[in-house]
Each structure stands twice: as structure tokens, then as C-alpha cells.
């Protein structure tokens, strides 16, 4: 198998969080960040453009929140793999995101090994 890195898109309204996630993901040998979005509307457009293997999704964003965006992405692509990255205190939203089809949840503030472990588990399953 050629060096086929998994394509990852980061959706978060905070530039700081996107940069942090990008730096962590780009360190792992099997994943690379192909797109970023700061709100749900942008996430839909970027998803169509990049067709990533995995999307990290913040839940609380301007214009269109994470729950709505998850629903739309899964309508667009029923195989979309979405991992919620959100702050403590968002339990109700996280549960709803899981019901809508999110595959996993990473709590902010996150640790590098948490991110890598979840991405590894989701992207490398069945390998």
C-alpha cells in the first residue's frame, strides 16, 4: 500500500483550537489535515471539496452549529466519519451528536494523546 494518508478536516470556530489540532494530526504518520472550517456552513462547502476520511466537529459555532452540521454532512455522505471535539458542559449536545451519527467525542481541553488515540482507533479500524 502506498503512503495513503487519511484526509482530515477540522471544524472549530476558534483558530487556536484548529491550529492545535492541525499540529497534533500532522505529527501522525497516517493522517493529514486537508481542510479547515470556522463554522457549519463553511464545513459543508469544505467537505464537498475535500471529501475527508474524518471530520473533527466543534458543537458550538456561529452561523450553523455542530449538530445541524453533522445532520447535513450525513445527508450529504452517509459514510461521513465525525468526531466531536467540544468543551465540558456540553453533555446534552454531545449525546445529541452521538444520536445524529457522530462516532466519538473528545473533550476540550484535550491532550495530544487523546486526539491521536481516537483518530487512530477510528481511522485504522479494519486495517
DSSP state of 11: E
Q: Which of the four pLDDT bands, split at 50, 70 and 90, describes residue 126? A: low
Q: What is the pLDDT of residues 63-117, one digit of tens each?
A: 999 999 999 999 999 999 999 999 878 889 999 999 999 999 999 999 999 999 9
Residues 6+ apart with CB under 8 A from 120: 28, 30
Q: What is the CATH number of domain 6-116?
A: 3.40.50.2300
Percent of the chain with pLDDT strictly greater than 70:
96
Identify the three-state secondary structure at position 89.
Answer: coil
Q: Select from 123, 126, 124 the least CA-distant residue to 55.
A: 123
- From the centroid of its chain, how far is CA 124? 15
Q: What is the pLDDT of residue 60?
A: 93
Residue 2 has pLDDT above 60, yes or no: no
Amino acid at each position: 500500500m502506498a503512503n495513503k494518508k487519511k484526509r482530515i478536516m477540522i471544524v472549530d470556530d476558534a483558530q487556536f483550537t484548529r491550529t492545535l489540532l492541525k499540529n497534533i494530526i500532522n505529527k501522525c504518520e497516517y493522517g493529514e489535515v486537508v481542510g479547515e472550517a470556522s463554522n457549519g456552513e463553511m464545513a459543508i462547502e469544505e467537505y464537498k471539496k475535500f471529501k475527508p476520511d474524518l471530520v473533527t466537529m466543534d458543537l458550538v459555532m456561529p452561523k450553523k452549529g455542530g449538530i445541524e452540521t453533522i445532520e447535513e454532512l450525513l445527508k450529504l455522505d452517509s459514510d461521513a466519519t465525525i468526531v466531536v471535539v467540544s468543551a465540558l458542559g456540553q453533555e446534552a449536545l454531545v449525546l445529541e451528536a452521538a444520536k445524529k451519527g457522530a462516532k466519538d467525542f473528545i473533550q476540550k481541553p484535550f491532550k495530544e494523546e487523546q486526539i491521536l488515540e481516537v483518530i487512530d482507533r477510528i481511522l485504522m479500524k479494519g486495517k
